[in-house]
Amino acid sequence: MGLEQYKGDMEMCCRCSTCKFIPMQRVSGHDFVNVCPSISRFNFHSYSGGGRLNIGAAMLRDGFQYTDRLLDIVYNCQMCGACGVSCNYAMDMEVLEPIQEFRIRCVADGKTHPALDKAIAGLRAHGSMVPPTGKRGDWAIGLGLKDATREKVDVLYHAGCLTSYDPSLQKLARATAKILQKAGVNFGIAGDAEICCGGRAYQMGYQEDFLRQARENMALIKQAGIKTVVTACAEGYQAFKVLYDKFKLRGDLEVLHISEFVDRLIQEGRLKPRKKVGLSVTYHDPCRLGRLGEPWVHWEGKKVPGDRFVFDPPKTYRRGTHGVYDPPRNVLKSLPGVTLTEMTRIKEYAWCCGAGGGVSESNPEFAQWTARERIREAESTGAEALVTACSWCEKAFDEAIRETGSALKVYDIVELVEAAIS
């Protein structure tokens, strides 16, 4: 069905522009009111969530006309879903799904972006969204971790492409291993056998590549008898938890983000952060852990003929309400000496780090611009450090800080937990 299934949703757009802003009730001043990086950077309405729907509806009606400008619009979007949350405060209609389908359509029509083609070529060749810097499991050398493909474990830790291969981020995987060891969790990794979750390929519009990755991952998981997967990054979390479910591939696999798992371990008393960390922090909600980490809702139905855009059976919209917001905050609050000050744009209406949707590949300048805006917001809280829960966010913020010379430090939540338990 592709884009066609969202014809009615796209036609529902009343062009109110609410999708450009955080929900009105949350507006707390003149600054930090924008929620969509794309319209904020490129300004023409067509770059907003609503504008994308207007174009999609027109193209379904009048035929697809690809121009350089159209592709510029399509690929300058982080697929962050913030537009959908703001719209769905009031409206009953899908926003991100048609934007996603539009991309998939572009890729199917061969209207791709060269930088994304390159990233996907790498995925097909190496099973990774980032160029390999060695063997995938090298980060675990010397840690004595179990190989989940051979030994029986309760939990599979999926480190993900960036955390596995980026020398400056491998510390996150190592910190996680220490945390899980300390808590006495029977866990393992797939090591060199681990492959990309496919989530970023999906965001980029390469649905078939995503599905291949998903099937291979689930085959590995089934074969190893894994019941629970814990992911290092938000990208992996959304892929395993939401997207695999969307395509009915997940079965009853339990998927947890590391922040959820650590929160659980602390609450169960299996992990006791005792060492004072001494840091004032602010927390960045990764899009794919927060609003887009909301569980998938399976639904099939038909529009009820008549005056309202309603369906039989009624449709439950994913409005960002049930994302993972509290567990990382619980963890931060449990760390001795850590004080948390919130930014203006948080939880379901958080500003994206800039890396999503393949933008870090297709337009690094825009990705950086988006990250710099978040750094500015984090600085406004007066916190010493910006904490996140995704290696893609950490990388984006590290680069922005290098560029701006900001004194802000950036940590993944596992780094602070490691400091508090060691």
Task: Out of 121, 143, 219, 310, point to the residue binding another protein (CB under 8 A).
Answer: 310
Binding mask 1-40 for ligand SF4 (x = CB under 6 A): ------------xxxxxxx----------------xxx--
- Measure the CA–CA gap between 253 and 16, rounded to whole angstroms: 40
Neighbouring-strand partners of residue 311? 303
Count of residues in contact with ligand SF4, rule CB under 6 A: 27
Cα-Cα-Cα-Cα dihedral sign, residues 347, 352, 353, 355: positive
Sign of CA dihedral 69, 72, 74, 79: negative
The interface partner of residue 306, options being ligand SF4, another protein, none and the CB cut-off 5 to 8 Å by kind, is: another protein
82 forms part of the interface with ligand SF4 (CB under 6 A): yes
Residue in the structure block whose two tokens are 């300004």: 43
Supply the minimum distance, in Å, between the C-beta of residue 92 and another protein. Answer: 5
Pairs from 296-299 (Cβ < 8 Å, separation ≥ 24)? 296/242, 296/243, 296/245, 296/246, 298/245, 298/248
At residue 61, the 3 state secondary structure works out as helix
Residue 82 site contact among ligand SF4, another protein, none (CB < 5 to 8 Å, cut-off depends on kind): ligand SF4
- Give CA 141 to chain center in angstroms: 28
Is the CB of residue 343 less than 8 Å from the CB of residue 32?
Answer: yes
# chain residues binding another protein, by CB under 8 A: 62
Indicate whether 95 belongs to the interface with ligand SF4 (CB under 6 A): yes
φ/ψ of residue 297, rounded to 5? -115, 115
Residue from 55, 78, 153, 214 binding ligand SF4 (CB under 6 A): 78
Using CB under 8 A as the binding rule, whether residue 317 contacts another protein is answered as yes
Beta strands in 329-402 (DSSP E): 338-340, 385-388
- By CB under 8 A, residue 15 contacts another protein: yes
When the beta carbons of 170 and 363 are compared against ligand SF4, the nearer one is 363
Nearer to ligand SF4, 212 or 372 (CB): 372
Q: Please name the residues in contact with 313: beta carbons below 8 A apart, sequence gap of 6 or more.
A: 299, 301
Out of 43, 168, 181, 186, point to the residue binding another protein (CB under 8 A). Answer: 43
Q: Which residues bind ligand SF4 (CB under 6 A)?
A: 13-19, 36-38, 48-50, 52-53, 77-83, 87, 91, 95-96, 99
Q: Which residues bind another protein (CB under 8 A)?
A: 8, 11-18, 20-21, 23-30, 33, 43-46, 48, 50-52, 54-55, 57-59, 65, 67, 69-70, 73, 85-86, 88-92, 305-310, 314, 317, 319-323, 325, 347-349
